[in-house]
């Protein structure tokens, strides 16, 4: 991997998310985990429990240099397809990972000692559990502090369970172990203002001019109908701003303000 700060992506797998049966919590948490380390999420994709759809998405992401966290679909039931899809996307076989096999056996023994199930790994239910240790050839283990059933990593893709109690510590573990050199290397600053009763089409050229002039700054616009529910003025407005390298942000923001004033638009600076 190059010394440049990588782009981070997130894949969330599950029909239950897309149907609304369960509410996704991974997106907000991953944004939080990255931000705490001076990193940011570049994209997110929600996918159904369909092997072809997951395979297609992984083929595209493996072709990039992005660091990708994938949550969900690595269990052993018929609606879990992520392990198989990852292998298909990479055109490699699924193999029982020796360390995963050992960890799953340890977990089965621990549960048996509590009177839950059998420690006999030839038992049908345990043979089924061992499927959770079938990973694409060459995969690395991601340890699971909750119940020992591991996730896996291939290249810069990291596959964890859909359960937050397992997924989030595993993602933190990966970030701290493999990406600490990138923490807080690309600080971001942001300044914005509210522009009232103005069409986005009028401010679009100004945004383009700013991005052309300040190459390490991005302009953004967030239109609002102004219902007052967010604590902002109950008037139609656009939050117009710039974000990017701290050393450029003040100059870019000054240029933005000047452009809005040239338009003759009413505005209010954000705190």
**DSSP conformation letters of 43-105:** EEEEE-S-HHHHHHHHHHHHTS--EEEEES--SSSTT--HHHHHHHHHT--EEE-HHHHHHHH
Q: In the prediction, which pLDDT does 1 show?
A: 46
Task: Write out pLDDT tens, residues 207-263.
Answer: 999 999 999 999 999 999 988 877 888 899 999 999 999 999 999 999 999 999 999
Distance CA(36)–CA(51), nearest Å, equals 33
Paired tokens of 56? 């297609």
Task: Write out pLDDT tens, residues 14-66.
Answer: 999 999 999 999 999 999 999 999 999 999 999 999 999 999 999 999 999 99
Confidence (pTM): 0.86
Q: In the prediction, which pLDDT does 227 show?
A: 86
Distance CA(48)–CA(80), nearest Å, equals 10
Alpha helix locations (H) across the chain? 15-18, 26-35, 51-62, 82-90, 98-113, 124-130, 164-178, 200-213, 246-263
- What residues pair up with 268 in beta bridges, in sequence order? 194
Distance CA(74)–CA(83), nearest Å, equals 6
Task: Write out pLDDT tens, residues 177-198.
Answer: 999 999 999 888 999 999 999 9
Paired tokens of 51? 């092997």
CB distance 238 to 169 below 8 Å: no
Q: In the prediction, which pLDDT does 229 show?
A: 79
The answer on pLDDT for 2 being more than 60 is: no
């Amino acid at each position: 991997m190059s010394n440049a700060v990588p782009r981070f992506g997130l894949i969330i797998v599950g029909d239950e998310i897309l149907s609304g049966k369960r509410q996704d919590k991974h997106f907000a948490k991953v944004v939080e985990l990255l931000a705490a380390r001076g990193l940011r999420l570049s994209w997110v994709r929600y996918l159904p429990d369909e092997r072809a759809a997951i395979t297609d998405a992984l083929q595209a992401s493996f072709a990039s240099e992005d660091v990708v966290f994938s949550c969900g679909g690595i269990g052993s039931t018929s609606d879990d397809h992520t392990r198989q899809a990852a292998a298909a996307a990479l055109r490699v076989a699924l193999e029982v990972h020796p360390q995963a096999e050992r960890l799953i056996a340890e977990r089965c023994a621990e549960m048996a000692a509590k009177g839950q199930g059998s420690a006999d790994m030839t038992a049908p239910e345990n043979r089924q559990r061992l499927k959770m240790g079938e990973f694409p050839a060459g995969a690395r283990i991601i340890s699971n502090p909750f119940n020992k059933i591991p996730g896996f990593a291939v290249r810069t893709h990291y596959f964890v369970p859909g359960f937050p109690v397992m997924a989030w510590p595993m993602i933190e573990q990966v970030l701290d172990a493999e990406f600490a050199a990138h923490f807080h290397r690309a600080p971001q600053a942001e300044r914005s203002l509210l522009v009232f009763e103005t069409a986005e089409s009028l401010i679009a050229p100004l945004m383009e001019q700013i991005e052309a002039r300040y190459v390490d700054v991005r302009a953004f616009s967030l239109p609002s109908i102004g219902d007052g529910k967010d604590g902002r003025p109950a008037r139609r407005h656009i939050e117009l701003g710039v974000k990017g390298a701290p050393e450029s942000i003040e100059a870019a923001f000054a240029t933005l303000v000047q452009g809005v004033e040239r338009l003759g638009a009413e505005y209010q600076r954000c705190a």
